[in-house]
Amino acid sequence: MPLRQRQEVQALPRPPRLGRARLRRAPEPSRQGGAPPPDAEARLLHRDGQLLVLDKPAGLPVHRGPRGGASLEDWLPVLALGKRRAPQPAHRLDTDTAGCLVLGRTKPALAALGALFAAGRVEKTYWAVVRGAPPAPAGEVAAPLAKRSTARDGWRMVVDPEGQPALTAWRVLGEAGGLAWLELRPRTGRTHQLRVHCAHLGCPILGDARYGGGEAAMLHLLARAIALPLDPPVTATAPVPPHMRAALAACGWREAAE
């Protein structure tokens, strides 16, 4: 049964079939990848017949690279959970970002989810720990982004007036010791958008060596929550990963409030 959108919103047309987004029969784990962890199912934040929301660990790429290695693709057969076909990601989430990742379990569900993400109708909330602090308690960054590549440094995203429009709302949730805890709400979905926008504000994300956040062990960016305007609505919240707890606690976060 396909997902239903809220009645007050006109249904979007079914998008064309996307190569990577197509559901596949659940394969055996690739020898080039890694075995899924025993707690893969325990990391589910939401499960129904049409979709899953997974708490993706930081450092796990969604798609396997050309050189192989562990990726979310190793987890998908385990997450089929009785379906004939493995679930597939409905959107992107950077390798180094932890938190909410939506997976479609059927072809109609994946098409409907893809349309919602493409239309910007999914509410995404991120938490970040940044070096320094933004210039005000809250605001928006409207800074177009473009991709640049050099032989020496590889590719990166930069603020460029000729780039694609990109908009991020932000507010400060806490500060301490030269760090700030930010809530980020991207209104567009550009590659590395939050990382570049934080750097553009003068407060790069802790651990983001590419954009000026220093050499901390891991990127301090969490896809904290997601809200899907379905009928009924689906919401999920990811827990704070271990590598972010100390910095967040220094800025005022309390684990007991989770």
Q: What amino acid positions are annotated as catalytic residues?
A: 94
Closest CA to 156 of 211, 91, 212, 217: 211
Two structure tokens written together for 62: 């969604």
Contact between 87 and 80 under an 8 Å Cβ cutoff? The reply is yes
206 within 8 A of 222, measured Cβ to Cβ: no
Quote the DSSP letter at residue 234: E
Distance CA 104, CA 49 (A): 9
If DSSP codes are grouped into helix, strand and coil, which group holds residue 243? helix
What tokens does 23 get?
């559901």
Q: Is 58 helix (H, G, I), strand (E, B) or coil?
A: coil
Query: Are residues 194 and 128 in contact, defined by beta-carbon separation less than 8 angstroms?
Result: yes
Report the greatest alpha carbon distance in the chain: 52
How close are the terminal C-alpha atoms of the chain, in Å? 34
